[in-house]
Amino acid sequence: MSALSLRGITKQFGKTETIHGIDLEIDAGEFVVFVGPSGCGKSTLLRMIAGLEEVTAGAIKIGDRDVTTRPPSERRVAMVFQSYALYPHMTVAENLSFGMRMRGVAKGVIAQKVQMAVEMLRLAPYLDRKPGALSGGQCQRVAIGRALVQEPDVFLFDEPLSNLDAELRLKTRLEIAALHKRLGKTMIYVTHDQVEAMTLADKIVVLRDGVVEQVGKPMDLYHSPANLFVAGFIGSPAMNFLPAEFMALAEFNQAVFADGSQWLLGKKDAPVGKVTVGIRPEHIRLDRSSAMRARVNTVEQLGATAYLYCSVAGQPICIEVRGVIDARVGDEIGLHTAPEHIHLFDAQGVAI
C-alpha cells in the first residue's frame, strides 16, 4: 500500500485551472521531490496534500485514509515552510512545543518530544532565543524540529532552502538527507533547483504547467528523459538541443543539421524526418579529427572544469571540459559524442 496516493487531482482558482488531473503514488519511506519552474503548480500540489488548499477534484489518500476533505490537523502531515514561519514572539523551545501545548498533550510527552528534536537537530544552545536572534540555517532547523515533534506520517518541505545562502544550503541539504535516512519517513520536497532534486530524491516528479511531465529515479530522468522539457530541466548545465533531419543509412544513421554538417548516431533509430538532437555538455568530447566542427564564442574557466560556449550549425551549444583548456574565442574545434549519449526527440518534443 502506498504511503500517499493522488488520484486525478485538479485545482481551479476562479476559472483558471492550474493543476490538471495529477495521479501519483508515493511509497512509504520514499523521498519524493516535486521539481519544476516557477508557476508549474508544485507548491500548490504540496499545499493540497497539506490541506492548506482545497482540492477542486480528485482524491488524496494518506495510508488507507481518504483525507481529501480533512483539515490539515487530521492528516498526520507536517510542513516546513520556505520562510521558516516561526512564531517570532516565542522562544525556540516555545516554538517547538506550541502545537502540542495547544492540543493539550501531556507535559511529560511534550518535554520528551522536544528533547528528541533538540538532540537530533542540535538546537540545545538556542532554546531560549527568539527567531530574530537566529541565523537563517538555525531558523530552518527549528522549523524542521517543529515538524519533527508532530511525528507525522508524511513530511512536507516547501522550498526550505531557498532563503539560505549557497554554503548553508548545501549543509542543510545534507542534514535533511541524513534526517530522512535516520527517520525513514515519507518526505515530499518541493524545489525549483534541479541539483537539490537530483541529490535528495529517491523519486523525482517533474511538473510543468500543472501537469506531471515525468516521474522516476534521478538517474533515470538524467539518462532517459521523456521529453525535451525534462531533458532541458534535469542536468546542469542544461542539455544542448540542435534541430536536425534524421537520415537512416545502411551502415549508420545520422543527424543532418541545417548547414549540412552531420552527427553520427550509430544504430540509434528514429522515423526519418525532423528531429531534435539532445546532447549533454558533459558528454561532448573535443576531437581534432572530427568532421563535426564548432566555433568557440566564450570560454569560462572554473579550475576543475571549463565551459566552452560554441556555435554548431548556427545553434548555440555548451561543452563541459574537465581541467584547464587552452581554446580561445574564435577557435574552430572538432566535437565527438558517443552515440549512446545522444538523445533524439520527435517534432512534438517526445523522446524517441
Partner 1 sequence: MKKPSLRSVLPLLFRYVAIMIVLLFTVGPFLWLLSTSLKSAGENIFAYPPMFVPQQPTLDNFFRVVESQPFFVYLKNSALVAALSVALNLLLASLAAYPLARIPFTGRAVLFIVLLSSMMIPFQLLMIPVYELAISLGLQNTYLGLVLPHACTAFGIFFMRQAFLSVPAAIEEAAIMDGVSRLRIWWFVMLPLVKPSLATLAVFSFIAVWGDFLWPLIIIDQPSLFTLPLGVNRLASTFSLDWRLVAAGAVFSIIPILLFFTFTQRYFIEGAMKGAVKG
Q: Is 14 helix (H, G, I), strand (E, B) or coil?
A: coil
* Phi/psi at 335 (5° precision): -120, 150
Residue 268 binding partner 1, by CB under 8 A? no
**What single-letter DSSP state applies at residue 126?**
G
**Footprint of partner 1 on 12-51 (CB under 8 A):** 50
At closest approach, how far in Å is the CB of 252 from partner 1?
57
**Footprint of partner 1 on 73-102 (CB under 8 A):** 73, 77-79, 81-83, 85-89, 98-99, 102
**Footprint of partner 1 on 47-66 (CB under 8 A):** 50, 52
Closest CB to partner 1 among residues 158, 213: 158
* Distance from C-alpha of 337 to C-alpha of 317, rounded to nearest angstrom: 13
Closest CB to partner 1 among residues 99, 243: 99
At closest approach, how far in Å is the CB of 128 from partner 1?
17
Give the count of residues interacting with partner 1 (CB under 8 A).
Answer: 23
Closest CB to partner 1 among residues 50, 296: 50
CB distance 194 to 236 below 8 Å: yes
270 CB burial (10 A radius; 0-12, 13-18, 19+): middle
Residue 138 binding partner 1, by CB under 8 A? no
Instruction: Give every CB contact of residue 96 below 8 A, 6+ residues apart in sequence.
Output: 114, 117, 118, 123, 142, 145, 146, 149
Closest CB to partner 1 among residues 89, 274: 89
Residue 146 binding partner 1, by CB under 8 A? yes
Closest CB to partner 1 among residues 53, 193: 53
Helical H segments across 8-41, by residue range? none
324 CB burial (10 A radius; 0-12, 13-18, 19+): exposed
Closest CB to partner 1 among residues 81, 307: 81
318 - beta bridge partners? Answer: 309
At closest approach, how far in Å is the CB of 71 from partner 1?
8
What is the binding site for partner 1 (CB under 8 A)? 50, 52, 71-73, 77-79, 81-83, 85-89, 98-99, 102-103, 143, 146, 150
